[in-house]
Amino acid sequence: MPEWFSIEWFTLSKYQEMDWEYPIFLYAIALIPLVFILKWLLFLRFRQKLEVAFPEKRNFSDPLALLRHVPKLFFALSLALILVALARPQKTDEVVEQWSEGIDIVLALDISESMAAIMDFKPNRLEAAKEVAMDFVSERKNDKIGIVLFAGDAYSLSPLTTDTDMLLQYIADIDPSLIPKGGTAIGNAIAVATNRLSEDNSASKVLILLTDGENTAGTIDPITAAKLAVSKNIKIYTIIIARPGRVPYRNRHGGVSYINETIDEQSMKEVAKIGNGYFFRATDSDALEQVFERIDTLEKSEIQESHYKNIQDFYQIYLIWAMISFLIWLLLKNTFMMSAIED
């Protein structure tokens, strides 16, 4: 059975599920009865009358005379179906293809003893940094992110990956015991991150370096490492996480004392300048969160979309039915139905 030969095309549910390119033609269907009424009124006004005398018992209307309206109904139906076809019923399926040119990002996180022991952040600097880093990673769904840890030495904790769950688990498990060697090897951390970022061919590469101190260990100084990174088209953001002045410090025995914290920002500012990035100083958890939000706005992945529309027209089906109705009207117009006596 052909597709058009179904009563379903005339159901309300079918009309509702279709899109109409020119719905104004549907409203024009309501004018069809008005046209026939106007024609009937003009016919009554100008028709010629012939008076014929019938016996009283023959003075009634013949029900067969109603058949003269049948051809008119088919003609009206053909007009209505033509208007439905002109409204252009169709079904539209829109396909959206989305892809992004992600950014390669390495988080280089200082896990030296001071990060875990100094409590100017709650509960300490390291835990505050981990919490904000996890929020940052969760929002960068389109980027490949790697993690480098450093204290007296530096090593890569995670390669560049889009596996957010794995990265979050790695960050949650970070502990100072992962690098027992004391000190802060900032230059080594930049060098390890540079090696990791150089493995990929991404057009955008970013290093986010987070530390609370100055370079006190390692085999390469931060300035030299930064120059090497920028030669590989790597942008560097540096973040000092520390509050200057008198801060609480938990010693190895669990006791809390206070120390005077001094911060050397100059080298980190110079690293950021060489790396075409920005330097930030966070003095509490809220400020640290704002720093990562700022970096998030500065380093946006380029997302591209392509929209495709698959349009299937159904006006042909209603034209077929209109032609059938019109042919039926042509067949009936010259039959006895059109010649039925009108009282």
| Of residues 22 and 3, more confidently modeled | 22
Beta-sheet pairing, 104-110 with 144-150: parallel
The residue among 148 and 327 whose pLDDT is bigger is 148
Q: How far is CA 323 from the centre of its chain?
A: 46
Do the beta carbons of residue 259 and residue 249 sit within 8 Å? yes
Count of structural domains within the chain: 2
DSSP annotation string for 194-212:
HHHHHTS--S-EEEEEEES
Residue 50: φ, ψ to 5°: -120, 120
Mean pLDDT along residues 96-107: 76
pLDDT value, residue 108: 96
- Residue 118 per-residue DSSP state: B
**Residues 147-156: tens digit of each pLDDT:** 999 999 999 9
Q: What integer is the mean pLDDT of 90-96?
A: 74
Q: Per-residue pLDDT for 306 more than 70?
A: no
How far is it, in rounded angstroms, from Cα 322 to Cα 7? Answer: 14
Q: Do 190 and 218 contact (CB within 8 A), yes or no? A: no
Looking at residue 304, what is its pLDDT?
A: 57
Question: What sections of the chain are H helices per DSSP?
Answer: 12-17, 24-28, 31-46, 70-86, 113-117, 125-139, 164-172, 186-198, 222-231, 266-274, 285-298, 315-333
- 188 and 252: one domain? yes
Of the segments 67-71, 141-145, 304-308, which one has the largest average pLDDT value? 141-145
Residues 171-178 have a mean pLDDT of 94
Residues 111 and 135 grouped into a single domain? yes
pTM of the model: 0.61
Same domain for 133 and 84, yes or no, is no
Q: Which of 45-59, 113-127, 309-323 has the lowest mean pLDDT?
A: 45-59
We report the CATH number of the domain holding residue 284 as 3.40.50.410
pLDDT at 341: 47
Please give the pLDDT value at position 101.
Answer: 67
pLDDT at 98: 59
Q: Quick one: pLDDT band at residue 338, thresholds 50, 70, 90?
A: low
Highest mean pLDDT, choosing among 162-176, 234-248, 253-267, 302-316 = 162-176
pLDDT tens digit sequence for 251-284 = 777 778 888 877 778 999 999 999 999 999 998 8
Domain check: are 134 and 271 in the same one?
yes
Q: Are residues 182 and 280 in the same domain?
A: yes
Please determine, for residue 168, whether its predicted confidence score (pLDDT) is greater than 80. Answer: yes
Instruction: Give the pair of three-digit tokens for residue 151.
Output: 């204290």
The parent domain of residue 29 ranges over 7-94+312-333
Classify residue 305: in a domain, yes or no: no
Residues 70 and 116 placed together within one structural domain of the fold: no
Same-domain pairing of 44 and 139? no
Q: Which residues of 186-205 are buried (b: 16+ CB within 10 A; e: fewer)?
A: bbbbbbbbbebbbeeebebb
- H or E stretch covering 157: strand 154-161
The two beta strands, 205-211 and 234-241, are: parallel
pLDDT tens per residue across span 21-57 = 888 888 888 888 888 788 777 766 666 555 555 555 5
pLDDT band at 1 (very low <50, low <70, confident <90, very high): low
Q: Is 343 a residue whose pLDDT tops 70?
A: no
Average pLDDT on 214-228 reads 93
- pLDDT at res. 328: 86
Under the banding of pLDDT at 50, 70 and 90, the label for residue 187 is very high
Lowest-confidence pick of 90-104, 193-207, 272-286: 90-104
CA atoms within 13 A on the CB side of 185: 21
> Do residue 127 and residue 236 come from a single domain?
yes
- Regarding whether 230 and 110 lie in a shared domain, the answer is yes
* pLDDT tens sequence across 125-139: 999 999 999 999 998
Residues above pLDDT 90, as percent of the chain: 36
